[in-house]
């Protein structure tokens, strides 16, 4: 009987990661109050794949984020809290995917970010996401990074562009909104060789 090949485990990334103004670190259970404050906001979640979080939704999200410290195989996720001067201002996500099947090592990473609205407009999303891009390509054997977002989310689209990502696709009515309507998806992508050329 053939045995299924399992890709070798990858080490956890070295954290925290520091940028000029920010610190990216593992998400802690004690971060729930700060994350819950902005994830309960309709303004923040308007273009996210989840609506404003209640206590149960926050509990489930926090469980996933706290556990997301050492992704190694496709489907697993790295979650990072973003701090500015000791205050949690947002969070980042890197989800790993395979080129073919789950038996392959991760080759694609999906980026995501959520920030508290009171810290918008200060470049924190771009600064921290750029650090996550560098971490993703230096620590993982990835060929490509991507981001999927609501095309109406212009601030996130601008972050993608500042990261050097290309607008690759706009799919129509492929996402079920919280209110029962259908929304579009914009796809942005960055290849390893493009990232290397910009370094």
Give the model confidence (pLDDT) of 23-77 as tens digits.
Answer: 999 999 999 999 999 999 999 999 998 899 999 999 999 999 999 999 988 899 9
Q: At what angle do helices 124-139 and 154-162 cross, to 10 degrees?
A: 50
Confidence band (pLDDT; 50, 70, 90) for 99? confident
Q: What confidence score (pLDDT) does residue 5 get?
A: 58
**CATH of the structural domain 17-198, one choice from 1.10.10.10, 3.40.50.300, 3.30.565.10, 3.40.630.30:** 3.40.630.30
pTM over 0.75: yes
Q: What is the chain's mean pLDDT, rounded?
A: 93
Element (H, E) at 45: helix 42-45
């Amino acid at each position: 009987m053939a045995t299924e090949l399992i890709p070798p485990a990858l080490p956890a990334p070295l954290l925290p990661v520091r940028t000029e103004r920010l610190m990216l670190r593992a998400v802690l259970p004690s971060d729930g109050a700060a994350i819950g404050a902005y994830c309960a906001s309709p303004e923040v979640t308007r273009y996210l794949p989840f609506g404003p979080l209640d206590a149960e939704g926050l509990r489930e999200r926090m469980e996933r984020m706290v556990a997301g410290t050492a992704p190694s195989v496709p489907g697993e996720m790295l979650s990072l809290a973003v701090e500015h001067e000791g205050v949690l201002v947002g969070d980042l996500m890197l989800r790993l995917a395979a080129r073919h099947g789950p038996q392959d090592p991760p080759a694609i990473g999906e980026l995501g970010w959520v920030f508290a609205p009171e810290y918008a407009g200060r470049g924190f999303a771009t600064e921290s996401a750029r650090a996550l891009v560098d971490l993703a390509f230096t620590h993982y054997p990835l060929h490509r990074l991507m981001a999927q977002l609501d095309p109406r989310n212009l601030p996130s689209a601008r972050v993608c562009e500042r990261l050097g990502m290309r607008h690759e696709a706009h799919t129509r009515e492929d996402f079920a909104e919280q209110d029962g309507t259908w929304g579009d998806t914009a796809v942005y992508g960055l290849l390893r060789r493009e990232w290397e050329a910009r370094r």
